[in-house]
């Protein structure tokens, strides 16, 4: 199965003409499916951009949401709206609500939006204040301790769902692809060619998901896993285990790009 991977496309920064050129590029690749790793727009525009992508490509779009997709809204409201939209679309597959998706006889796809859970780096000494903490309803107006607990809960939610789905996928498939927005390991949290510092790591990586995925794959050495993520806007590859690789996508505002074309066998 020929899949394209895109992430952090931020279409709210992209003109209609440039979006059309981007879709034409994807068409030329003769893709059979698309992995979309989140940060499509913002809370008020995500559904319309998802509909546009689906209408333009008319192939399965396997997607997760990113932190920007909740800006000027709430996590609960965006999830509810996107969930209804995907359930009524023949093309849109929101992985957070889709369980295990067979791609080939040997390969299955799972995913979750995920969230930076504050547990990597030094959260309580970090002075980083993301727009997430100002523009997303559930994260605004919290003190630092409350925000840390909320980020922990969001990370644990992602880890629980991914563990369930990965174990189900491994029972029937040799290879598992995981799509998520947030890097699940320190080693995959790239920024301009380096791993993010302890000041930024709490806001850009999810330790809960990483620990869960690594633990599972250590007990399944005969299987392989590739994780596709984004969020940091800087590309990199991290070999976590012999059978677990993480690919982090790069991005530039206003210039959506095809990260990679992969053949799922």
The DSSP string of 207-218 is HHHHHHHHHHHH
Angle at 173 between CA 168 and CA 177, to 5 degrees: 80
* Bridge partner residues of 101 (DSSP): 109
Topology of the domain comprising 2-263: Purple Acid Phosphatase; chain A, domain 2 (3.60.21)
pLDDT computed for residue 244 by the predictor: 98
Hey, where are the domains in the chain? 2-263
pLDDT computed for residue 192 by the predictor: 86
Gyration radius from the chain CA atoms: 17
Find, among 179, 198, 213, the residue nearest to 118 by Cα.
198
Helix/strand/coil percent split, the chain, to 5: 40, 20, 40
| pLDDT mean over 212-233 | 98
CB 93 within 8 A of CB 63: yes
Helix (H) or strand (E) holding 159: helix 144-170
The answer, yes or no, to whether residue 71 has pLDDT greater than 90, is: yes
| pLDDT mean over 90-115 | 98
Separation between Cα atoms, residue 217 and residue 129, nearest integer Å: 34
The answer, yes or no, to whether residue 265 has pLDDT greater than 90, is: no
| pLDDT mean over 228-248 | 98
The answer, yes or no, to whether residue 78 has pLDDT greater than 90, is: yes
Separation between Cα atoms, residue 39 and residue 1, nearest integer Å: 25
Which single residue is written with the structure tokens 């995925």? Answer: 213
């Amino acid at each position: 199965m020929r899949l394209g991977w895109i992430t952090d496309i931020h279409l709210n920064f992209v003109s209609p003409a440039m979006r059309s050129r981007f879709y034409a590029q994807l068409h030329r690749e003769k893709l059979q499916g698309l992995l979309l790793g989140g940060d499509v727009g913002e809370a008020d525009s995500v559904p319309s951009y998802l509909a546009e992508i689906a209408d333009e490509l008319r192939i399965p779009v396997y997607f997760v949401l990113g932190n920007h997709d909740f800006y000027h809204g709430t996590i609960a409201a965006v999830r509810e709206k996107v969930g209804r939209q995907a359930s009524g679309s023949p093309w849109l597959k929101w992985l957070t609500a889709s369980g295990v998706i067979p791609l080939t006889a040997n390969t299955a796809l799972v995913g979750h939006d995920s969230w930076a859970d504050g547990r990597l780096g030094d959260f309580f000494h970090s002075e980083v204040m993301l727009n997430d903490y100002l523009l997303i309803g559930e994260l605004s107006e919290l003190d630092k301790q409350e925000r840390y607990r909320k980020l922990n809960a969001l990370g644990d939610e992602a880890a629980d769902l991914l563990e369930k789905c990965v174990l189900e996928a491994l029972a029937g498939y040799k290879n598992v692809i995981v799509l998520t927005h947030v890097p699940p390991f320190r080693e995959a949290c790239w920024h301009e060619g380096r791993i993010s510092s302890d000041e930024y790591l709490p806001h850009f990586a999810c330790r809960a998901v990483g620990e869960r995925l690594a633990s599972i794959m250590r007990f399944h050495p005969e299987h392989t896993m590739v994780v596709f993520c984004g969020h940091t806007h800087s590309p990199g590859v991290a070999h976590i285990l012999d059978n677990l690789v993480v690919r982090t996508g790069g991005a530039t505002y206003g210039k959506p790009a095809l990260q990679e074309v992969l053949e799922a066998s």
